[in-house]
């Protein structure tokens, strides 16, 4: 994501929320020990960047606690700002009331407020706010009229007849309602087409815009007749004509189609052996991709980003790797494997399946509703658990989190 990211070495403490109602809020560690158990709050979110949103039981206002349960941002903000959709199908992935790049969005439907980790308002008075750590996209009342501001409230682009979305590497795509097309600008408001006036008739020549990767971005032009790979200065590195059916999915500097892997210049760097196809096009946390035999989706395995099949196709179903573990299914049921393909355990209850959440965090996974299992497949009993939100890492905090589990 553009602007910032949590370092993998700063995951923080693995926690799960097991109770959140009028009786209070409880978080537990991977052993089921209660590390936060308070009667002061009626609801809570999940931890992000070391802080978690809570709702004060008496006032109904929102604040934030740290992993020790200390109220870091006092409960003084209205709850439930608007949903994540900003406009025109552009989805704002920033969750309501969760910290991202050091900021969180709180407030009411007509008055979104962007705050820092001390609770200081940075931007306020807008119907919607999205941000990436360097700039924020805002609008008031009319979602098709947006503007861009720095994180200290300085205007980059005034609110006008354009919409914006973050596309990585400190770049934004901007949609013009005058030209009904997309342009690209940096976080200073500089359009990349300013340097290429002899090539582009206006600042909004693109039908579609992808995500930046290694300083390059794929765009579609001329009503879909041309695909180009652009540099950040607007120069065309390569034109593909009509050879690309859609803009490639980008993740970790890889583009993946049915059989091949490409780098950020769309040069083929790997290909699966004959008779195998990718089941997934985005590498998981272990940089693995699901693969299957030709015409047989129920004989699946895993390949690495070199196109090498590292776990043979022998499973009828799978749930991709998270925290180095994955669920796979064969004719004997569901099992848990590590990223070398070794079976660590099996789900003993045949009525259980990893669907719903099915993702590991610190050797714990939530499956089949409210069931917690460890990497051996054994069910973990957590006393007093009414329901569970799923284990997640608290993220980097300003306080001492102690040793990770």
SS3 per residue for 276-288:
EEECCCCCCCCCE
Question: 65 pLDDT exceeds 60?
Answer: yes
Architecture, CATH, for domain 8-78: Beta Barrel (2.40)
Q: What is the pLDDT of residues 114-142, one digit of tens each?
A: 999 999 999 998 888 899 889 999 988 77
Tell me whether strands 128-131 and 135-139 are parallel, antiparallel or unpaired.
Answer: antiparallel
Q: What is the pLDDT of residues 216-230, one digit of tens each?
A: 998 988 887 888 899
pTM of the model: 0.85
Long-range Cβ contact pairs of 82-89 (< 8 A, separation 24 or more): 82/109, 82/112, 82/127, 82/128, 86/128, 86/130, 86/137, 86/139, 86/143, 86/146, 86/163, 86/165, 87/128, 87/139, 87/143, 87/144, 87/146, 87/163, 88/143, 88/144, 88/163, 88/175
Q: Using CA atoms, how far apart are residues 117 and 103, in angstroms rounded to an integer? A: 6
Question: 6 pLDDT exceeds 60?
Answer: no
Backbone angles phi, psi at 61, to 5 degrees: -90, 160
- What are the boundaries of each domain within the chain? 8-78, 85-241, 261-311, 316-381
Percent of the chain with pLDDT over 70: 86
Answer whether 379's CB lies under 8 Å from 373's CB: yes
């Amino acid at each position: 994501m553009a602007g910032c990211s949590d370092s993998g070495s700063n995951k923080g403490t693995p926690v799960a929320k097991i109770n959140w109602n009028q009786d209070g809020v409880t978080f537990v560690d991977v052993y089921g020990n209660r590390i936060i158990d308070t009667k002061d709050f009626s609801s809570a979110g999940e931890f992000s960047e070391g802080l978690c949103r809570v709702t004060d039981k008496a006032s109904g206002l929102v604040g934030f606690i740290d992993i020790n349960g200390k109220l870091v941002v006092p409960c003084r903000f209205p709850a439930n700002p608007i949903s994540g959709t900003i406009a025109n199908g552009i989805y704002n992935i920033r969750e309501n009331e969760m910290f991202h790049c050091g900021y969180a969005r709180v407030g009411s439907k007509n008055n979104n407020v962007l705050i820092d980790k001390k609770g200081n308002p940075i931007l306020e008075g807008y119907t919607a706010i999205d941000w990436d750590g360097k700039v924020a996209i805002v609008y008031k009342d009319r979602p098709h009229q947006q503007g861009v501001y720095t994180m200290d409230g300085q205007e980059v682009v005034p609110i006008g007849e354009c919409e914006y979305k973050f596309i990585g590497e400190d770049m934004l795509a901007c949609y013009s309602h005058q030209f009904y097309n997309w342009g690209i600008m940096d976080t200073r408001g500089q359009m990349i087409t300013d340097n290429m006036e002899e090539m582009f008739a206006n600042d909004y020549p693109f039908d579609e815009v992808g995500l930046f990767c290694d300083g390059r971005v794929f765009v579609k032009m001329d009503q879909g007749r041309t695909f180009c790979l652009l540099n950040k200065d607007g120069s065309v590195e390569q034109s593909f004509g009509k050879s690309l059916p859609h803009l490639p999915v980008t993740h970790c500097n890889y583009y993946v189609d049915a059989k091949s892997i490409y780098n950020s210049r769309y040069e083929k760097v790997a290909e699966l052996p004959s008779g195998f196809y990718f089941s997934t096009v985005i590498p998981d946390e272990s940089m693995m991709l699901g693969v299957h035999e030709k015409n047989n989706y129920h004989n699946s395995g895993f390949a690495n980003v070199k196109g090498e099949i590292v776990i043979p196709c022998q499973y009828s179903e799978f749930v991709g790797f998270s925290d180095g573990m994955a669920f796979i299914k064969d004719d004997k049921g569901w099992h848990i494997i590590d990223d070398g393909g070794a079976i660590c355990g099996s789900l003993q209850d045949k009525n259980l399946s990893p669907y719903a959440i099915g993702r590991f965090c610190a050797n714990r996974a939530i499956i089949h509703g409210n069931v917690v299992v460890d990497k051996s497949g054994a069910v973990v009993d957590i006393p007093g658990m009414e329901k569970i939100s799923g284990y997640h890492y608290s993220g980097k905090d300003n306080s001492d989190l102690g040793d990770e589990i």
